[in-house]
Amino acid sequence: MMAKVEGDHSAAAASHSALDEWMAQLLWPLPAASEHAVSSSAAPLIAHYPHLAQQRIDAPPKKEKMIQTSVALETKSVADILDDGYKWRKYGQKPVKNSKHPRSYYRCSMDGCPVKKHVERSTRDPSMVVTTYYNLHNHNIPMHICTEIMTLDTN
């Protein structure tokens, strides 16, 4: 969208203004400033494009939540906590409806890892432990797990 300038700068200025307006509407078509306050982070933008002061400047919409991966495992065990090779920090325990066994909540202890797990006894068969993992580990597998996997592959 470019205007041909033939000695008259008003056509170029009008074209530039129209381009600025079009880009502002493309980025964030928002209501007038009288309805909403202009954020302080928008001040440099408004200084460069004064016509934007008439509109509310806002951040683009937040990203949607990522799809959460979950895996549930049932294991026959006398112990409530099964060693899966990772280090876990317990952050809660709650009674579960229609069950005499509580549910325990754990978080992977690796800094910044989003994985959580819930551990509880099965209501159908109390000898079974149900472990539900949420998300995926964002760090390397602990070395002792790699060694065990390699040992299983060679047998």
Verdict on whether the full-model pTM lies above 0.75 = no
Query: Would you state the pLDDT for residue 37?
Result: 47
What pLDDT does 61 receive?
Answer: 65
At residue 6, the pLDDT reads 44
108 within 8 A of 86, measured Cβ to Cβ: yes
* Model pLDDT, residue 82: 80
Domain boundaries in the chain? Answer: 9-54, 70-154
The pLDDT of residue 103: 95
Task: Please give the structure tokens belonging to residue 48.
Answer: 């460069």
For residues 55 and 47, give the distance between their C-alpha atoms in angstroms, rounded to a whole number. 13
Q: What is the mean pLDDT of each run of 10 residues along the chain (155 residues)?
A: 45 54 49 45 56 54 69 88 88 91 94 93 91 90 66 62
Options 3.30.70.60, 2.20.25.80, 3.65.10.10, 2.70.98.10; CATH for 70-154 is 2.20.25.80
Q: Phi, psi at residue 53, to the nearest 5°? A: -65, -20
Here the tokens at position 44 are 């440099």
